[in-house]
């Protein structure tokens, strides 16, 4: 069942699963982590983890290689299957309508952050079928403002199978790269700009940081 405040036994079990699954993922996808230290020097309180999104592997990689549990928004259609619903809630996901992030979803995200948790979000609001990063939405800036938390940008490269050059067949095995950026101090920006302007600045800054990280690949 989805819950915002996790017990010590859950956190211990979560860490055990990370230790168990990380070598498997590294072997299967030849995962390479860049700037890993950035993910371990984060503040202990609420934090937004902001990433690009092209594949269903992305949230798995985020959960596997970020040291703290991450909370996510998932499309409500996934919760119709009881087993999938159980798995999603166990791994800290809550539903939202495809039309967009409504007030209830934003309120839940802010509640998660106020409780000192990590909230994972994709600035584009959805998965990119083409693999290209699209236009940023203001949701990340709004949630950061209401939760009064910093943002850690990260980028995941090559998490989606793509056709070989001059060939319709897709790569069977991926080599996934994950890079963590530097913490974005949102409090400083919010103190210098009006609310609406600050939310836009933060949203665009988060997306620009992800694009910059992704360009390193």
Locate tokens 């230790």: which residue? 19
Phi/psi zone of residue 178: left (φ > 0), alpha (ψ -120 to 50 degrees), beta?
Answer: beta
Domains of the chain and any CATH numbers: 35-159+179-215 (3.40.1130.10)
> Rg of the chain's alpha carbons, rounded to an integer?
17
- Of all residues in the chain, the percent with pLDDT exceeding 70 is 86
- Across 73-77, average pLDDT: 85
pLDDT digit string, tens, across residues 26-53: 988 999 999 999 888 887 899 999 999 8
Distance CA 26, CA 164 (A): 22
Q: Which of 110, 113, 123 is nearest to 51 (CA)?
A: 123
pLDDT digits (tens, 9 = 90+) for 137-146: 778 999 999 9
pLDDT digits (tens, 9 = 90+) for 154-188: 999 988 765 444 445 445 567 899 999 999 999 98
DSSP secondary structure code for residue 136 in this structure? P
Could you report how far apart the first and last alpha carbons of the chain are, in Å? Answer: 38
């Amino acid at each position: 069942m989805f819950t915002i405040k996790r017990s010590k036994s859950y956190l211990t079990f979560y860490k055990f699963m990370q230790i168990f699954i990380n070598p498997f993922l590294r072997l299967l996808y030849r995962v390479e982590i860049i700037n890993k230290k950035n993910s371990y020097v984060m503040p202990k309180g609420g934090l937004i983890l902001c990433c690009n999104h092209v594949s269903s592997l992305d949230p798995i990689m985020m959960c596997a290689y970020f040291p703290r549990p991450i909370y996510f928004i998932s499309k409500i259609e996934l919760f119709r299957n009881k087993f999938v619903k159980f798995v999603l809630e166990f791994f800290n996901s809550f539903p939202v309508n495809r039309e967009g992030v409504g007030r209830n979803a934003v309120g839940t995200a802010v509640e998660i952050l106020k409780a000192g948790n990590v909230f994972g979000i994709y600035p584009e609001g959805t998965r990119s079928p083409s693999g290209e990063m699209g236009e940023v939405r203001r949701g990340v800036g709004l949630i950061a403002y209401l939760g009064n938390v910093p943002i850690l940008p990260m980028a995941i490269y090559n998490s989606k199978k793509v056709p070989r050059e001059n060939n319709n067949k897709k790569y069977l095995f991926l080599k996934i790269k994950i890079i963590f950026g530097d913490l974005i101090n949102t409090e400083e920006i919010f103190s210098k700009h009006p609310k609406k302007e600050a939310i836009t600045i933060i949203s665009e800054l988060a997306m620009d940081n992800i694009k910059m990280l992704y360009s390193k690949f």
